[in-house]
Structure 1
Amino acid sequence: MKKSLIALAVLSTLAGTAFAQTAITIYGVVDAGIVYDNAGAGRTWRLDSGNQSGSRIGFKGSEDLGSGLSAIFNVENGFNTDNGTLAQSNATTNRLFGRQAWVGLKGGFGSVKLGRQLTPLYVAMDQIDPFRIGLAGNAQRAFGYGLYNADPFLRTDNTISYSMPDVSGLTGTLSYSFGEQPGAFASNRTYAAGVGYANGPINAQLAYQKSTTATLPGAVATAGSAAAVFGGGGTTADLRTILVGGYYDLGVAKAHLAYGDTHADSAATSLKTRNWLVGVSAPVGGAGTVMASWNRNDIRDLANGKSDQWAIGYAHAVSKRTNLYTSIGYTKNDAGVSLNSTAPGQSDRLFNVGVRHLF
């Protein structure tokens, strides 16, 4: 009996030590709201998920391996609050952890991660955009003619990345995504890099990405030569983009500015797209934040290839983890393009109001 008690005490001590060396966090976002959108055949009222932030549940953790080295991981599932379905899945790809799924090592040298990851482009835009890639002012809806809102500009599979340690606000990331195409090593692969500086009132970001024979998202109705690149689901193109921007905190408000240049080269044609963002975000009354922005997408190869997106939004914290939000946006398209819409020259009005809870 005495030996059993001693053995139990030793096992309990070892288990406690192992638990202390391993930290695991469960976190998530549940976001839902009412949306009005006039894009398409007619006006639509609906209940949508992820208007301000994509709804998700995630698991992340680290294990102390000694000598300053840690094992790290993050798996993150995206879901639709309105109907409970998976958010990053479609008819051809079933993703349980579609937002992120990676494992790696971290130490004084920085960190190395392997798996499905957010791109440096996404990380930079999230810092720059006054709407933090959400609501009606989401800059991803405009930049790269909407390509910033889809893989591979959003996330990349089969990726190995290296991130340097933070040095007085200076950060940097390099990543490479394997194409995994038999007999075609150069197909479907991605190179990306990002550099950021956040110190005091200044936050500056620079990101670059090149993807070969990337499969573009579903059909986007366009006119002119744009249809040859963006005109149908499954179209492939070589993509290249650079994004530079940031914000300056004036105390009473933050001034946001960004510029993007994107090239899309398909078998039929090549298109050059330029983007600008000018925005502002400001605290209101201690619990609120107001946001406003103007985004322009300009397809340089089209005579009528400009789109402008204006938006204003407001978020109000009712606790540390729950806030209410609302926003309204308007997109005006030239005759040759259909950003955020379904027909060339058609304008789009988007309104949402809802609630977001973090856990």
Structure 2
Amino acid sequence: MKKSLIALAVLSATSAAAFAQSNVTIYGIVDAGLVSERGGVANTTKVSSGVGAASRLGFKGTEDLGGGLSAVFVLESGIKADTGESDVAGSIANRQSYVGLKSTTAGTLTLGRQYTPYYESVRDVADPFAMGYAGTAKNLFGVAGNNTRNSNAIVYQTPVVEGFVGEVSYSVGEQAGDASAQRQIGGYVGYANGPLNVRVAYNARNNDLPASKLSTDVGHNTLIAANYDFAVVKAYAAFSKDKGTNSSALGNTSNPFGYTVAPVASKDSTVALIGLTAPVGPAGTVMASYTRKNDKEVANHDADQWAVGYSYALSKRTSTYVSYAKIHNKNGASYTVGNNAEAGTGDKAFNVGVRHSF
């Protein structure tokens, strides 16, 4: 009888441990490249981190709670591969930091610092360069600052149903005395089936600063994007309408071309993109895009970007790349050619580098 009770206790403990089994993964990217920027006040040649994809170190995990429900978390910090420093001084998990619950039938709810649905849609559906290299869509699309990711966010993503998926994000402003100040709301609806991927995304940020009694308008971004894989080539197209304060913030705000009057960001513009990727042999990929920024304000700060790149996979985890992009600024516009981690200093840039994922 005593032996039976001991065996039952051991079985019960083992079952409980299996039920609450958790899985933690350490992951990251180390990306470094040689960057040459021309056309600004001063030409620059340097070694940069995160040219193709931002260098990072992260921890992510899941715990099976039973019944199709899991706990999930991510802690992700940006690093500078060229110097070994954090990309934001004093930060621990500045890129992503969230915890939540994931259900196989009800979707996923997470809380913390996270990407905006608008940024995810440009990166995952619209941009052949996936926000990296000299050709990144960041150069002309309104994804700078809080439009990339925001803190204090509550995000819900639906499960995929017949190819359809949706996401809603609400970022609490946390401004004393004004619940709407600095608040950010966004979402997307997407459909992916076989070679077709389509997404419509929206972002709105209240720019009020109650502490300084400064009242500004709300910045709005509306995007429609699609790509279609023809096997021999994958075609991309996107259109974004950006209106209001900080709807299309300049990546480089230091007057990089030395104008007598420093340009300011447009509060009313559209961006259109067409592009492609194409496999070359078993391990190579060509990337190309044309992007046009149409400023609808009186200054008419329009810009066109042409970009081309090539990535070669040395293995499943390691690749080399080369890319070039040129922006034609009009009427005193000051858009710069950057990469995934930098805003750039000139109207053209060339980069070559190596990326390793683990």
TM bucket normalised to smaller: 0.7 to 0.9
Match of 1:164 among 158, 166, 184: 158
What does 1:109-258 correspond to in 2, within 5 Å? 109-127=106-124, 128-144=126-142, 148=143, 150-213=144-207, 238-258=218-238
The 5 A counterparts of 1:57-72 are: 57-72=57-72
Q: Deviations over 1:55-101 (max 9, x none)?
A: 011111111112221111111111110111222x25xxx42111100
Structure-1 residue corresponding to 2:355: 356
Partner of 1:74: 74
Shift of 1:251: 1.4
Q: Could you tell me whether the CA contact under 8 Å between 1:332 and 1:347 is conserved in 2? A: no
Q: 8 Å contact 1:39–1:340 — kept in the other structure?
A: no
Structure 1 residues 287, 19: CA separation in 2 closer, same or farther (over 3 Å shift)?
A: farther
Q: Which residue of 1 aligns with 2:260?
A: none
Q: Deviations over 1:164-214 (max 9, x none)?
A: 001122110011000000001110010101111111110101110100117
Conserved 8 A contact 2:23-2:62: yes
Task: Check 1:155–1:112 CA distance in 2 against 1; reply closer, same or farther (3 A cut).
Answer: same
Aligned to 2:267, the other structure's residue is in SS state strand
Q: Select the residue among 272, 276, 285 that pairs with 2:268.
A: 272
Please point out which of 308, 316, 319 is paired with 1:312: 308
Kindly provide the CA deviation profile for residues 269-300 of structure 1, in whole angstroms up to 9, marking residues without a partner as x: 98201000010100000100000001111111
Q: Is 1:259–1:277's contact at 8 Å kept on the other side of the alignment? A: yes
Structure 1 stretches lacking a partner, 5+ long: 216-233
Match of 1:97 in 2: 93
Q: Output the TM-score relative to the length of structure 1.
A: 0.84
- 1:302 and 2:329 correspond: no
Code of the residue aligned with 1:101 in structure 2: it is S
* Identity, % of aligned positions: 44
Q: Please list, as runs of the form range in 1=range in 2, the aligned pairs for 1:26-45 lying within 5 A after superposition.
A: 26-45=26-45
| Conserved 8 A contact 2:285-2:311 | yes
Identify the residue that residue 256 of structure 2 maps to in structure 1: none
Letter in 2 for 1:70: S
Q: Deviations over 1:205-234 (max 9, x none)?
A: 11101001179xxxxxxxxxxxxxxxxxx9
Specify the SS of the correspondent of 1:152: helix
CA distance in 2, matches of 1:327, 1:236: 39
* Cα separation, 2, equivalents of 1:15 and 1:97: 34
Q: Distance in 1 between matches of 2:313 and 2:46?
A: 24
Give 3-state SS (helix, strand or coil) of 1:122's partner: helix
Equivalent residue letter for 1:113: T
Give how far 1:140 is off.
1.5
- What is the distance in 1 between the residues matched to 2:310 and 2:355? 13
Q: How many residues align?
A: 325
Whether the 8 Å contact between 1:152 and 1:214 is mirrored in structure 2 is: no
Give me the whole-angstrom Cα distance separating, in 2, the residues matched to 1:125 and 1:283.
21
Name the CA distance, whole Å, in 2 between partners of 1:164 and 1:341: 36
Alignment partner, residue 335 of structure 2: 339
Structure 1 residue 39: Cα displacement: 4.7
- Equivalent residues in 2 for 1:7-46, closer than 5 Å: 10=10, 14=14, 17-18=17-18, 21-46=21-46
Q: CA RMSD in A?
A: 2.8
CA distance in 2 between partners of 1:141 and 1:77 (Å): 23
SS in 2 for 1:340: coil
Greater displacement, 282-291 / 331-340: 331-340
- Among 239, 242, 248, the residue aligned to 1:259: 239
Higher relative contact order (CA 8 A, sep 6+): 2
Task: Name whichever of 155-164 and 60-69 sits farther off.
Answer: 60-69
* TM superposition score normalised by structure 2: 0.84
1: CA distance, partners of 2:84 / 2:93: 14
**Cα deviation, residue 124, structure 1:** 0.6
Structure 1 segments of 4 or more deviating over 3 A? 9-20, 234-237
| Aligned mates of 1:355, 1:137 — CA distance in 2 | 16
Q: Distance in 2 between matches of 1:279 and 1:235?
A: 39
